[in-house]
Amino acid sequence: MRFAFYGRTSTEDYQDRTSSEYWQRDVAENVISGRGVVVVEFFDSGYSRRLSWMNRPEAAALLDAAADPDRGFDAIVVGEFERAFYGDQLQQLMPVLNRYGVQLWLPETGGPLDLNDVTHQALMLLLGAQSRREVLRSRHRVTAAMRAQVCEQGRYLGGRPPYGYRLVDAGPHPNRAHAQWGRRLRRLDPDPATAQHVRWMFAQRLAGRSVASIARELNERGVPSPSHVDPARNGHRSGEVWTLRTVAAILANPRYTGRQVWNRQGRDHDAARGKQRRGPVHRWNPGQDWVISKQIVHPPLVAERDFVAAQAIRAARPTDDGTTRVYLLAGLVRCRPCGRRMDAHWVNNRAGYRCRHGHTSAQEATPDRPKNLYVREDHILASLPAHLAVLELDDKLGPEERGSGDSRERDDLAELMRQFDLTIVCDTAGWIVETATATDDFDR
């Protein structure tokens, strides 16, 4: 028989592909010894087992090859179940392979897999559950260890140093084996070129200046932004100017107090499933989930009491009546002239949407800048049913949703917009409802 070998390794930086590929192939060839030979190889390097086969390039190429009647191989062999599959991936894949007439050989079965065999069915369920358990168990061990290293030891665990700091040597690694290999610890130390700007930002904020005013002066003085200082790690950014978000992020980072912080950003592994992405999605964690060292472990750029005071200045002002402002159409309103999503904006005690065409308070206004575009939410909601009727969606509305427009009915209208992937497109002449297909060009 002719076999296609499939293998995988999770990371490119921390695993030796050559060694991993060798042992997986060696095991696979032992499985088929005397019964066939490997004629083609597919190996994914740097792709998690949690990704479906369609989201791993070599696995996807193998499936494409299997679909070809002239494929040149009769079966697929892998070196280990957990290198190829996760959870119920195998159960989803087998009907496809059966349709193509391609067998799957596993070391765990000692030959071809037969899902009509109850023993093989039970084994696959066990292996799938075991692969899930191993991933969760490993992740728990790693994160628990990292949490302890930061909280108790204040150890720097990697990543780019914050603006205003640089990395310096902190002595040999505490693990003797790692120390013998030459690994050393590192810690943060004030960067002579940028630390002064961080101290200045905190001083200005404590003096009562707005974040926008601070960003504007940094731009006027030509102070290099974080993207400009470290362009290799910020290739997707222009690096030209300071923004409100950049200044606000610096003023909110507790690492400037001299304490080490970990878990400000988490990785959502499930968000990547079913999508064409290579790895997990990174998301910011809420402050209560951050891990902060008990001791000050590197030179601070701001005193803790001043940092806390700066956060109090940053705190959002509550509404006069204590209620929460709700924007029903948030994310659904676009500006036709520039293509941006319009920002939710509360003015005169009512919800609306505003587009500043990319201008922010951190920038000086230019004479040719277009005027802000503004539209009231209640005006949109009042005539939205008529616009939906043009798209022949009015039959999706009950008579009560065409009626007086109380809060429940307005919620239903907004939900209908999201359900059918509709967008409200505005300009100075008014607004219309368009499908997502019609507005795709805005995102290009």
Question: Quick one: pLDDT at residue 346?
Answer: 83
3-class secondary-structure state, position 75: strand
Q: How many angstroms separate the most distant Cα atoms in the chain? A: 82
Q: What pLDDT digit, counting tens, does each position of 23-73 carry?
A: 999 999 999 999 999 999 999 998 888 888 999 999 999 999 999 999 999
pLDDT of 400 higher than 50: no
CA distances from 349 to 308, 343, 346, 409, 438 (A): 31, 16, 7, 21, 33
Band of pLDDT at residue 118, cut at 50, 70 and 90: confident
| 253: Cα within 13 Å, side-chain hemisphere | 22
pLDDT over 50 at 141, yes or no: yes
Instruction: Report the pLDDT value the prediction gives residue 276, as an integer from 0 to 100.
Output: 47
User: pLDDT at position 75, please?
Assistant: 94
Tens digit of pLDDT for each residue in 183-199? 788 889 999 999 999 99
Question: Which amino acid would we find at residue 311?
Answer: Q
Mean pLDDT of 189-214: 91
Q: What CATH number labels 165-258+297-314?
A: 3.90.1750.20
Is 114 strand, coil or helix? coil
How far, in Å, are 327, 375, 426, 431 from residue 383 at the CA level?
A: 17, 13, 14, 10
Same fold, 2-134 and 165-258+297-314: no
Amino acid identity, residue 183? R
Distances (CA, A) of 418 to 34, 178, 225, 377, 435: 58, 53, 37, 16, 10
* Range with lowest mean pLDDT among 105-109, 221-225, 235-239, 290-294: 235-239
Q: What is the pLDDT of residue 233?
A: 60
**Per-residue confidence (pLDDT) for residue 27, from 0 to 100:** 93
Count other Cβ atoms within 10 Å, centred on residue 153: 15
CA 34 to chain centroid, in Å, comes to 47
Closest Cα to residue 78, out of 122, 127, 30? Answer: 30
Beta strands 350-355 and 373-376: pairing type? antiparallel
Residue 254 — φ and ψ, nearest 5°?
Answer: -70, -10
Domain ranges of the chain: 2-134, 165-258+297-314, 333-443
pLDDT reported for residue 267: 64
For the domain covering 2-134, report its CATH number: 3.40.50.1390
Number of Cβ within 10 Å of residue 78's Cβ equals 24
Q: How confident is the model at residue 97 (pLDDT cuts 50, 70, 90)?
A: very high
